[in-house]
Structure 1
Amino acid sequence: MYGVPRAARTSGSYADAVTATPEPAPACPSPPAATAPPSADPPLWRDRRFVLLAAARTISVLGNGFARVALSFAVLALPGAGPGQLSLVLACQAVPQLVFILAGGVMADRMSRSRLMIVTDLVGAAAYAGLAAMVLTGHAPLMALCALAALAGTATALFSPAMDGVIPLLVPAGRLQRANGLLRVGMNSSMLLGLALSGVAVAVVGAGWALALNAVSFVVSALLVRGLRLPARARTGSSGWADLRDGWREFAGRQWLWVVVAQYSVVVAALNANAGVLGPLVAENELGGARSWSLIVAAQALGTITGAGLAARIRVRRPVLIAVLATFPLALPIALLAVRAPVPWIALAMFGSGIAADIFGVLWATTIQREVPEAALSRVSSYDWFGSLAFAPLGLLIAGPVAARTGVGPALAGCAALIVLASAAALLSPQVRGVRAPGPAPTGEERDECEAEQPR
């Protein structure tokens, strides 16, 4: 039965509590069967398959950093193109990421996850190669750009749940948090580098070649993932719809899981409204323009790298509780933007929010990988993605009209308040406060002392 607190599953009956029979001495602790003692574990960077996965993600994210800027400039360079055409292309890329994410979870739990990652990488490569070819040849009909952008978004939707489910197949349970943290350090650093160099690349070689570089990064990622060689999954007689329902039961049966996903559906919408619309408006009108906004965004990116490195090392007993508490700092830079605080203060707050965001991300991903059965992990991950992103387009859609009606400052204050209220509401869940991480394995000396104390 899912969602039952651990105390209820392990406590004895009333008769057990009042019996006069003495209890036997507790057994000595032993290391978990799935993991070796910490001293026996080699560094993750010596694990060939983990290195292949980390390299694949780092290279692919670097290419995506180029593509984000290149695609926008490629569309805006079209004859007669403007913000409306750009919004249409970006929407065609974003909508499939939400629509097909649940199908990606089902597929990843029914076939080899590494094989699905390879296929989707190659589909993404084909999409960006097509975009690059159209831009380079100067023949880029808007509808064709939309179609290829939708194909790229679909590839991302099918890739993400498979990626989330691969990590526990490569890394022992006791090292998942460190693995997730190291992966995020690499990906965040790569994204920062890609965004920093993308403008230069577009200016020097043009948007078409920058899109072609992203296509190449997908091919390299597919070749690296091929080295994982994860086995095919056993075939089941159930249908895709039945698998989707089973995944829903796994998701809905854990209160801590759906409560935090509901929290983040609100948080992500507020963050999107700030990052996509309201923040740039304040920066443009009152903080000095794009240069100030670039400094603020760069500070947040640096914070995510720091946060991922920190999260790889910290050990907490209640990971979901700490993850939810780490959400509160995300409201601070938005509140500072609302009151037009000096740019250095906003940048410092954004740096802190980046740290907090990746502490949340690492603890959250690790807890799901530990608590959810591996056979259903990708489906549960897809529900997590779907729920968290459900209101993200709405945040972008209503931010402008709300700001026009109430003013940018009150709209930003509302976003900050939504983050605080949603996070506070999540703390009302007993399971959010109560989910515990497994304790560290006992050392050899501790086991020897325990055995010496046992009755002969």
Structure 2
Amino acid sequence: MTDPAAAPPGGRSRRRRIHSPAWAGRNYTLLTASAVVTNLGSHGALIAAAFAVIESGGDAGDVGLVAAARTLPLVVFLLVGGAVADRLPRHRVMVAANALNCVSQAVFAVLVLAGDPRLWQMMLLTALGGTAHAFFNPAAEGMLLSSVGGDQAARAFALFRMATHGAGIGGAALGGAMIAAMGPGWVLAVDAAAFAVAGALRAFLDVSGVRPREPGGGLLSDLREGWAEVRSRPWLLAIVAQFSVVVAVVATAEGVYGPLVARDELGGAAPWGLALAAFGIGTLLGAVLMMRWKPRRLLLAGTLCVFPLAAPSAALAIPLPTAGLALVMLVSGAAIEVFGVAWMTALHQEIPEEMLSRVSAYDWFGSVAMAPAATALAGPAENLLGRDTALWGCSALVILVTAAVLLVPDVRNLRYRTKRVSGARPGSSADPEGAVGRLG
């Protein structure tokens, strides 16, 4: 692709040079566009899956089992997915995963539209989707982290997240409205189509300039190297452990109890879709903030912004009316986006390019490791403790584990740098003639 800086003056290329950031090259643009398409479908599909279970006669335990079926394959296959993504061309792994997501969601949609989905069928299909995500997520994160230069990384990640969260806002609101008007089956069908389009876009990603992996050990060796990278960094290990709890309780509160509270207290799917859309608006606002703000102590600022994730569970426990719940979700969305951009910037700054997918896999693994058990136990916990008590417990756990992470010195002291200490990432400002830089 022609470098915009080398284009002749006066034409369309000049206008693109003026208006397009230097780091927004081909891969970054394709990754952003495909993620926008995926988010438009998947945010509504998550709501649709829960209501498909409820409308088929399921209870909280059944909703939890389907949610667990989605996350269990992530736990089983994520580390393998990270090793595969660091060994094979990442874009091929992403396209194959999108194809599996497309097929599984299409079959799910047909079963729901036919009117008699079985619980085991819904669990199997969501498990296939979770397997696809286990291979997709490390490949996608490694691809994104290596697609931008070091000096503008934080801004690039904020813009990426702002675009995808903006799509999530529309997807959640549209999904809730479509479920109320047409039922969950059509939302699942839209999600299948979105995966097909996104996979086609990702097929055009260019990895020709990425340095090939040196021949070496097999899968187990790759996994050991990834674990050694994680273990050597206390800040990384601490936050991965923290989010194993945070994600589990948030998934339980918002993935299982949220739709049930919406059904019993708020009037159905549409108010819950509005609340999730408010969370998306909050993430959009947080991304706008991070386009301009580069906190010097990256992880301290980010970790402090995890505390507001305790608020939605409390709001559901009370429960607040729809407007109050939406406001709480808005604030928590903005706060967690500050963490998200700070976290991606820290990974980009500190982790070697050839290790990105494996480290991302351990990161994802920590985030989802406890979620299947937590969501599967949501029904029994509700029966034993009551829904309100279970939700208050979710809030308390978020606060406790986040406070514990602040005791780690590296979390408090890791600072933003414009250049990497040990070597330059391909295409970064310290390697302007590198592989990724040429892709733009």
TM-score normalized by structure 2? 0.80
When residues 308 and 340 of structure 1 are mapped into structure 2, their CA distance, relative to the original with a 3 A threshold, is: same
Match of 2:306 among 327, 334, 342: 327
- Count residues in correspondence: 402
When residues 41 and 109 of structure 1 are mapped into structure 2, their CA distance, relative to the original with a 3 A threshold, is: farther
Residues 1:57 and 2:35 are matched in the alignment: yes
Aligned partner letter, 2:137: S
Once residues 111 and 200 of structure 2 are traced to their aligned partners in structure 1, the CA distance between those partners, rounded to angstroms, is 25
In structure 2, the residue matched to 1:173 is 150
The answer to whether the Cα contact below 8 Å between 1:104 and 1:161 also exists between their aligned partners in 2 is yes
In structure 2, the residue matched to 1:261 is 240
Question: Which segment drifts farther, 335-344 or 262-271?
Answer: 335-344
When residues 351 and 230 of structure 1 are mapped into structure 2, their CA distance, relative to the original with a 3 A threshold, is: same
Match of 2:167 among 184, 190, 203: 190
Aligned partner letter, 2:46: R
Residues 1:243 and 2:222 are matched in the alignment: yes
**Per-residue deviation, residues 414-444 of structure 1 (Å, max 9, x unmatched):** 3222222211111111111111111589xxx
Residues 1:430 and 2:412 are matched in the alignment: no
Aligned partner letter, 1:356: A
Once residues 75 and 347 of structure 1 are traced to their aligned partners in structure 2, the CA distance between those partners, rounded to angstroms, is 24
Give 1:90-101 correspondences, 5 Å limit: 90-101=67-78
Once residues 111 and 64 of structure 1 are traced to their aligned partners in structure 2, the CA distance between those partners, rounded to angstroms, is 26
When residues 339 and 86 of structure 1 are mapped into structure 2, their CA distance, relative to the original with a 3 A threshold, is: closer
When residues 248 and 41 of structure 1 are mapped into structure 2, their CA distance, relative to the original with a 3 A threshold, is: farther
Match of 1:224 among 183, 201, 221: 201
SS in 2 for 1:312: helix
Deviation at 1:65, TM superposition (A): 2.6
In structure 2, the residue matched to 1:303 is 282
Residues 1:155 and 2:126 are matched in the alignment: no
Once residues 263 and 390 of structure 2 are traced to their aligned partners in structure 1, the CA distance between those partners, rounded to angstroms, is 16
The answer to whether the Cα contact below 8 Å between 1:274 and 1:412 also exists between their aligned partners in 2 is yes
**Per-residue deviation, residues 132-186 of structure 1 (Å, max 9, x unmatched):** 4445567866555443332221111100001110123321012221121111112
Deviation at 1:262, TM superposition (A): 1.2
When residues 152 and 340 of structure 1 are mapped into structure 2, their CA distance, relative to the original with a 3 A threshold, is: closer
Match of 2:106 among 129, 143, 154: 129
The answer to whether the Cα contact below 8 Å between 1:132 and 1:211 also exists between their aligned partners in 2 is yes
**Per-residue deviation, residues 165-223 of structure 1 (Å, max 9, x unmatched):** 01233210122211211111122121221122224445666654443332222221122
In structure 1, the residue matched to 2:45 is 67
The answer to whether the Cα contact below 8 Å between 1:44 and 1:179 also exists between their aligned partners in 2 is no
Deviation at 1:405, TM superposition (A): 4.1
The answer to whether the Cα contact below 8 Å between 2:60 and 2:257 also exists between their aligned partners in 1 is no
When Rg is computed on C-alpha atoms for both structures, the one with the higher figure is 1
Could you tell me which runs of 5 or more consecutive residues in structure 2 were left unpaired when the two chains were aligned: 1-16, 421-440
Question: Which segment drifts farther, 124-133 or 92-101?
Answer: 124-133
In structure 2, the residue matched to 1:451 is none
Could you tell me which runs of 5 or more consecutive residues in structure 1 were left unpaired when the two chains were aligned: 1-38, 442-456
Once residues 365 and 255 of structure 1 are traced to their aligned partners in structure 2, the CA distance between those partners, rounded to angstroms, is 16
Once residues 417 and 19 of structure 2 are traced to their aligned partners in structure 1, the CA distance between those partners, rounded to angstroms, is 17
Once residues 283 and 204 of structure 1 are traced to their aligned partners in structure 2, the CA distance between those partners, rounded to angstroms, is 16
Once residues 34 and 183 of structure 2 are traced to their aligned partners in structure 1, the CA distance between those partners, rounded to angstroms, is 25
Residues 1:351 and 2:351 are matched in the alignment: no
When residues 278 and 242 of structure 1 are mapped into structure 2, their CA distance, relative to the original with a 3 A threshold, is: same
RMSD: 3.2
When residues 219 and 289 of structure 1 are mapped into structure 2, their CA distance, relative to the original with a 3 A threshold, is: closer
SS in 2 for 1:171: coil
Once residues 136 and 337 of structure 1 are traced to their aligned partners in structure 2, the CA distance between those partners, rounded to angstroms, is 30
- Choose between structure 1 and 2 for higher RCO, CA contacts under 8 A separated by at least 6 residues: 2
When residues 140 and 435 of structure 1 are mapped into structure 2, their CA distance, relative to the original with a 3 A threshold, is: same
**Per-residue deviation, residues 285-315 of structure 1 (Å, max 9, x unmatched):** 6667766655543332221111122223211
The answer to whether the Cα contact below 8 Å between 1:45 and 1:51 also exists between their aligned partners in 2 is no
When residues 428 and 396 of structure 1 are mapped into structure 2, their CA distance, relative to the original with a 3 A threshold, is: same
Give 1:398-413 correspondences, 5 Å limit: 398-413=377-392
Aligned partner letter, 2:79: L
Q: What percent of counterpart residues are identical?
A: 42
Deviation at 1:131, TM superposition (A): 3.1
Aligned partner letter, 2:173: A
The answer to whether the Cα contact below 8 Å between 2:305 and 2:338 also exists between their aligned partners in 1 is yes
The answer to whether the Cα contact below 8 Å between 2:65 and 2:375 also exists between their aligned partners in 1 is no
In structure 1, the residue matched to 2:352 is 373
SS in 1 for 2:339: helix
Aligned partner letter, 2:206: R
Once residues 237 and 273 of structure 1 are traced to their aligned partners in structure 2, the CA distance between those partners, rounded to angstroms, is 41
When residues 424 and 142 of structure 1 are mapped into structure 2, their CA distance, relative to the original with a 3 A threshold, is: closer
Once residues 115 and 315 of structure 2 are traced to their aligned partners in structure 1, the CA distance between those partners, rounded to angstroms, is 44
Give 1:105-116 correspondences, 5 Å limit: 105-116=82-93
When residues 331 and 83 of structure 1 are mapped into structure 2, their CA distance, relative to the original with a 3 A threshold, is: closer
**Per-residue deviation, residues 37-67 of structure 1 (Å, max 9, x unmatched):** xx99952685333221111010012121343
The answer to whether the Cα contact below 8 Å between 1:167 and 1:176 also exists between their aligned partners in 2 is no
The answer to whether the Cα contact below 8 Å between 1:266 and 1:391 also exists between their aligned partners in 2 is yes
Aligned partner letter, 1:112: P
Question: Which segment drifts farther, 89-98 or 186-195?
Answer: 89-98
Once residues 248 and 330 of structure 2 are traced to their aligned partners in structure 1, the CA distance between those partners, rounded to angstroms, is 20
The answer to whether the Cα contact below 8 Å between 2:247 and 2:371 also exists between their aligned partners in 1 is yes
Residues 1:103 and 2:80 are matched in the alignment: yes
In structure 2, the residue matched to 1:43 is 21
TM-score normalized by structure 1? 0.78
In structure 1, the residue matched to 2:363 is 384
In structure 1, the residue matched to 2:291 is 312
Question: Which segment drifts farther, 300-309 or 278-287?
Answer: 278-287
